[in-house]
């Protein structure tokens, strides 16, 4: 009899151990337990630690409450200024309501991933290329709001969203490189022009100071000669005072002016009277009469021959005829 009792007790203990082993559950610190009894939500969420369920009746679902890092695959889209880009991002989220994450959505991880991809495409289409490259904080906030609105009903809270990389076509990269180079060159030219302006102002002030003190110019000239002579080269510097050049220039100006006036006088147009005087010269016919007269040295043949006629008087200013 005693043996039978001991056997029954041992059997009951064994059954109890099997039951406890089947019903015992351990929920970790970063997890929460959701119990579904015959398919219905049972009680509240189980806290971390040791807990018991009814075997074959209850089913315990453990939900991780840690922050999950989910990379968003690269999405290709066209920006508002018609530039094709590829953008990838990363989403940080965590479950704040374990029961809603189990009951309201089939797979909250997959749902968050798909929503992130859709929202990222929408952000690309609404933004310009400059915003994607330089104003990412604003885009991150907008993307976080787009993801957080539906995720609240799933028991998920979006911690933050970050755009990781923006891939551009090679042609766009070359165009942006040329634009940046042109902008840097423009700034360099502006800086050089500003430096030239400041240097010209300082040189003008130095010129005024040297004009007030001529010896300063000589000192500056000597310093320049010393600077050139300090280098070991074959350069020969012969300083010539500027005043000497100006003196020589002033001394050479009067003869040049007189010669210029002498050369310009014949170039003046003659008066009409001076041009008409040669026209008033006697006709050549009056001069040709003495040419036709020939002196005769022989006496006339007959006794009645008259003495030779004298040649007419030559006009004044004409050379004697031979």
DSSP 108: H
pLDDT at 190: 94
The answer on pLDDT for 268 being more than 70 is: no
Tell me the sheet residues that pair with 165. Answer: 88
Mean pLDDT (whole number) for 125-136: 86
Lowest mean pLDDT among 5-14, 81-90, 164-173: 5-14
- For residue 321, pLDDT beyond 60: no
Average pLDDT over residues 149-161: 89
Percent of residues, the chain, with pLDDT higher than 70: 74
Element (H, E) at 293: none
**Cα angle: 114, vertex 116, 121; to 5 degrees:** 100
Q: Where residue 127 falls among pLDDT bands split at 50, 70, 90?
A: confident
Q: What confidence score (pLDDT) does residue 254 get?
A: 59
Structure-block tokens of residue 239: 């300083």
Q: Residue 315: pLDDT above 70? A: no
pLDDT tens per residue across span 2-55: 777 777 888 888 877 888 778 888 888 889 989 888 888 887 888 888 888 888
Per-residue pLDDT at 267: 44
User: Phi then psi for 228, rounded to 5 degrees?
Assistant: -70, -40
pLDDT at 312: 52
Structure-token match 């991780």, residue found: 64
* pLDDT recorded at residue 156: 92
Mean pLDDT of 115-120: 91
Q: For 176, phi and psi rounded to 5 degrees? A: -65, -35
- Element housing 297 (H / E): none
**Residues with Cβ within 8 Å of residue 209, at least 6 apart in sequence:** 216
- What is d(CA 305, CA 298) in angstroms, rounded to the nearest whole number? 11
* Mean pLDDT, range 85-102, rounded to an integer: 91
- What percent of the chain is predicted at pLDDT more than 90? 18
Each residue of 175-220: pLDDT tens digit?
Answer: 888 988 999 999 999 999 999 999 999 888 888 888 888 778 778 8
* 215 vs 293, more confident: 215
Band (pLDDT 50/70/90 cuts) for residue 295 is: very low
Mean pLDDT of 241-247: 72
Is this prediction's pTM over 0.85?
no
Contact 79, 128 (CB under 8 A): yes
Contact 160, 140 (CB under 8 A): yes
User: First CA to last CA across the chain, in angstroms?
Assistant: 200
Judge whether residue 91 has pLDDT over 90.
Answer: yes
The closest of 293, 320, 322 to 308, measured between CA atoms, is 293
Write out 198-232 in H/E/C secondary structure.
HHHHHHHHHHHHHHHCHHHHHHHHHHHHHHHHHCC
In which residue are the tokens 């015959």 written? 38
Q: Round the average pLDDT of the chain to a whole number and report it.
A: 77
Selection from 174-178, 260-264, 271-275 with the highest mean pLDDT: 174-178
* Token pair for 66: 């840690």
């Amino acid at each position: 009899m005693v043996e039978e009792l001991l056997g029954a007790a041992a059997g009951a203990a064994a059954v109890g151990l099997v039951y406890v082993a089947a019903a015992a559950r351990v929920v970790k610190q970063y997890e929460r337990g959701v119990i579904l009894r015959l398919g219905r939500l049972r009680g509240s969420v189980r806290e971390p630690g040791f807990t018991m369920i009814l075997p074959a009746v209850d089913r315990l679902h453990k939900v991780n409450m840690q922050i999950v890092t989910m990379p968003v695959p690269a999405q290709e889209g066209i920006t508002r200024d018609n530039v094709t880009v590829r953008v990838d991002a990363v989403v940080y989220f965590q479950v704040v309501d374990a029961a809603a994450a189990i009951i309201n959505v089939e797979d909250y991880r997959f749902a968050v991933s798909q929503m992130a991809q859709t929202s990222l495409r929408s952000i690309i289409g609404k933004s310009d290329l400059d915003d994607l490259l330089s104003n990412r904080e604003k885009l991150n906030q907008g993307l976080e709001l787009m993801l957080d609105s539906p995720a609240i009903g799933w028991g998920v809270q979006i911690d933050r969203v970050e755009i990781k990389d923006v891939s551009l076509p090679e042609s766009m990269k070359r165009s942006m490189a040329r634009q940046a180079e042109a902008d840097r060159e423009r700034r360099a030219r502006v800086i050089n022009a500003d430096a030239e302006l400041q240097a010209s102002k300082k040189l003008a002030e130095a010129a005024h100071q040297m004009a007030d003190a001529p010896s300063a110019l000589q000192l500056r000239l000597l310093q320049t000669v010393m600077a050139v002579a300090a280098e070991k080269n074959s350069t020969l510097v012969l300083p010539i005072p500027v005043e000497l050049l100006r003196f020589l220039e002033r001394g050479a100006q009067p003869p040049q002016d007189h010669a210029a006036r002498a050369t310009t006088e014949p170039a003046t147009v003659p008066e009409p009277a001076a041009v008409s005087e040669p026209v008033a010269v006697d006709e050549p016919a009056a001069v040709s009469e003495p040419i036709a007269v020939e002196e005769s040295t022989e006496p006339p043949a007959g006794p009645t021959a008259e003495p030779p006629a004298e040649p007419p008087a030559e006009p004044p200013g004409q050379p004697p005829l031979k």
